[in-house]
Amino acid sequence: MENYGLIIYKYQFVAIHPKDSTTDARQAAAKVICHELAHQWFGDTVTAMWWDDLFLQEGFAAFFERFNMRMAIPQQKPYILTKWLTQRIQPSLRLDAIIKRSHPLYAYNGPEFDLITYGKGASVLRMIYSVLGADNFRSSLQAYIKKYQFSNADHEMLFAEFTAVMQLFVERNFSLESP
């Protein structure tokens, strides 16, 4: 559980023995730590305006797990993306493909604490990252956090920051506005 400036972990989730723990145990501990650290920025420094934008917190935390884990356990770097895609993203997109289970990231009927919010949110952010490139994505997030720190924001405000940064680097009209 994370709170601004304080992260509380359940001992069983993060305690690993340096010699006896398995690779999976190390990765699981790193995943929990990296996920909760990401919430320091996405959820605590900038908080979703309402629960219907839960993916702004959980999608970002799931997205940044992968980046942070690659730094936390560099010897596993080549495998982390594959594992993240097959165990985190693909199951959520498979679930989202079932019409009765599918829902938009922006939850009109209240928050959805499920695989779709976490995994699909991370997948959409990964797509935006791929389109914008690392530098533009980082610049957008820096502008978003700086503009809305210690405040609330919604997905439209986030997309406006992505659009503003891209306007500086792309000649054609680029927009991430909702239809």
Give the model confidence (pLDDT) of 17-61 as tens digits: 878 888 888 888 999 999 999 999 999 999 999 999 999 999 999
CB atoms within 10 A of CB 103: 14
Give a yes or no: residue 25 inside a domain: yes
**Residue 150, domain member (yes or no):** no
Alpha carbons within 13 angstroms on the beta-carbon side of residue 127 total 8
Check whether 1 has a pLDDT greater than 80.
no
Q: Span 66-83, mean pLDDT?
A: 88
Give the active site residues: 36
Q: Which residues of 120-150 are buried (b: 16+ CB within 10 A; e: fewer)?
A: bbbbebbebbeebeeebbebbbeebeeebee
Q: What is the CATH number of the domain that holds 87?
A: 1.10.390.10
- pTM for the complete prediction? 0.85
pLDDT value, residue 62? 93
> Residue 154 domain-assigned?
no
Tell me, yes or no, whether 178 lies in a domain.
no
Count up the domains in the chain and report the number.
Answer: 1
Residue 42 lies in a domain: yes
pLDDT above 90: residue 178: no
Contact 144, 157 (CB under 8 A): yes
